Amino acid sequence: MYSYKYPRPSLTADSIVLCEKEGNTHILLIQRAHEPFRGKWALPGGFMEINERLEQTARRELLEETGIRAGEMKFSGIFDTPDRDPRGRTVTAVYLTYLNQCDEPQAGDDAGNARWFPLDKLPELAFDHKEIVGTLTGKR
């Protein structure tokens, strides 16, 4: 086994899940059940497992945290600000998907709650998720 003196960042994948509801674009968010940012809202997502590809991570975390299965997911960017996660150096890949209807989410795994929010009326978001949503949807 190789050993390197260089630090290795953690990899995560997050999902931006959008749908149309009541004439507005809505985004699916989870309320974090654990620190960091316990009680704050966030994009569904989490840490990559050693045997996964990043899109698989995004799909697995979305299903675990909301009970929702995504169809087509489009890779939409990498976010890598060094201090974006207080647990340590973490780089995230973000995937975007649109649903034909706003299915009712079922919070699970690390999520204390899951629900749809109008894209123009977001709650306070954890990590750098406000920046991510703004960058990828044009809503700042």
Query: What is the homologous superfamily of the domain 10-137 according to CATH?
Result: Nucleoside Triphosphate Pyrophosphohydrolase (3.90.79.10)
**Domain boundaries defined on the chain:** 10-137
Structure tokens at 97: 């998907």
> What is the model's pTM?
0.94
- Spans of the chain, pLDDT less than 50: none
Query: What pLDDT does residue 135 have?
Result: 95
Query: What pLDDT does residue 17 have?
Result: 98
Query: What pLDDT does residue 140 have?
Result: 59
Query: What pLDDT does residue 7 have?
Result: 85
Structure tokens at 36: 């960091």
Q: Are strands 74-79 and 90-98 parallel, antiparallel or unpaired?
A: antiparallel
Task: Please list, in sequence order, all residues whose beta carbon lies within 8 angstroms of the beta carbon of residue 127, skipping any fewer than 6 positions away.
Answer: 37, 42, 84, 85
List for the chain the helix, strand, coil content (%; round to 5). 15, 35, 50
